[in-house]
Homo-oligomer: A and B are copies of this chain.
Amino acid sequence: MTSYKDYTIATLGSHSALQILKGAKDEGFRTIAVCEKGRSEPYTSYKVADEIIEIDKFSDFFTIEEELKKRNAILIPHGSFVSYIGSEKVKDISMMHYGTRGILQWESDRMKSKEWLVDSGLNVPKIFDTPEEIDRPAIVKFHGAKGGMGYFVANTPDEFYDRIREYPEEKDYVIQEYIVGVPVYTHYFYSPINDELEIMSFDKRYESNADSIGRISAKDQLDANIRTSYTIVGNMPIVVRESMLPDFFAMGRRVVEKSRGLEGVGPAGLFGPFCLEAIVDPNLKLFVFEISARIVAGTNPYVDGSPYTWLRYDVPMSTGRRVARELKEAVEQDRLKEVLG
């Protein structure tokens, strides 16, 4: 029988790699950061990687897959991984990797993920099938997770056609009702090893310029003709009204249950870290506008644990460390296969 010490945790040096690698080290694993040339300084400075492997660009990942296999490495996918490798090519990975096979296809396709969320009984914003249907504020989002870059708001079909001209190369977008309310991102972890659903933490994104135009007076905004954009620059910690927690637990549970048997997903369904991205309106009604079926960067404020994980754990439990602990327990119980996609 193998020991968890025989395995190495590897991930791409970006997104949430610092906490993934730190968490793995804290749980006793060896770690590898796969970095783009000249961009490894964070991983050396913060001392989270036992080894750095450099490649020219992340899309060259497959050129070093064999090297990783030799080190008995388990790959942890994250948002940048999906974005750089492509959700289709994720299927070609032949090394051990953590997470549900096929689920990334569901999260990256906005129509499929909407179907999944609706089938789970969640409340979602309206999707406009054509620009002509826009009869209220709508946000236009491009396919592929480029960190929100290029998203725009349109109030009418005319405004849509006016704005979309700036993006001649973008053919693949979704037009979503814009819900007025505060964003709340819930970070879940579902363990098939102990059949428990945890809420690790919450965040709100820090977006440019969305989170700064409010600092400009309405008059100056109008004078300068300022429009909103949604490029993710970072994340801010929040806690939520405690009376809403039971509902957040219920939502996560339903999404996990419905994931079982989704096309291409398999009976295990969704497990590990995932995130429901929601807007809470002034009547406390929740609108879930996105699901991420892997670790999100919104967990990064909680490298040393969150106001929620400190309730349950007596060590600093980041989501990255929770992943490592899951792998450790899986190895120890000889159930590693169950958590590899």
Residues of A within 8 A of B (CB): 14-19, 22, 38-42, 45-48, 80, 136-137, 147, 149, 153, 155, 180-184, 196-199, 202, 204, 206-246, 249-250, 279-284, 297, 300-305, 307-308, 310-312, 316
Contacts and interface: CB of A to CB of B under 8 A. Distances in A.
Contact of A246 (B39, B149, B223, B300): B39
Contacts of A16: 242
Given A217-B221, A282-B229, A14 B302 contact: no
Nearest to A148: B282
A241 B232 contact: yes
A215 B214 contact: yes
A36 to B, nearest CB: 8
A38 B219 CA distance: 43
Given A213-B215, A312-B46, A233 B184 contact: yes
Contacts of A236: 236-238
B224 A155 contact: yes
Given A45-B199, A307-B301, A307-B302, A184 B234 contact: yes
Contact of A249 (B45, B197, B232): B45
Considering the complex of A and B, which 7 residue pairs feature the smallest CB-CB distances, nearest first? A214-B214, A218-B221, A229-B282, A46-B311, A218-B218, A303-B307, A234-B240
A304 B238 CA distance: 14
Contacts of A239: 234-235, 300-301
Given A212-B183, A213-B180, A234-B184, A15 B219 contact: no
A176 to B, nearest CB: 15
B208 A213 contact: no
A18 B234 contact: no
27 contacts: A18-B242, A22-B311, A42-B245, A45-B199, A46-B312, A149-B284, A181-B209, A182-B208, A182-B212, A184-B234, A208-B284, A211-B214, A212-B279, A213-B215, A214-B215, A217-B227, A219-B226, A219-B227, A233-B241, A233-B284, A234-B240, A235-B238, A239-B300, A241-B297, A242-B300, A300-B307, A303-B308
Nearest to A16: B242
A139 to B, nearest CB: 10
A216 B238 contact: no
A17 to B, nearest CB: 7
A309 to B, nearest CB: 9
Contacts of A283: 149, 231
Contacts of A153: 216-217, 220
Interface-central residue, A48, A199, A226, A304, by most chain B CB under 10 Å: A304
Given A42-B249, A180-B216, A310-B303, A15 B198 contact: no
A14 B213 contact: no
A53 B256 CA distance: 28
Given A155-B224, A311-B22, A242 B182 contact: no
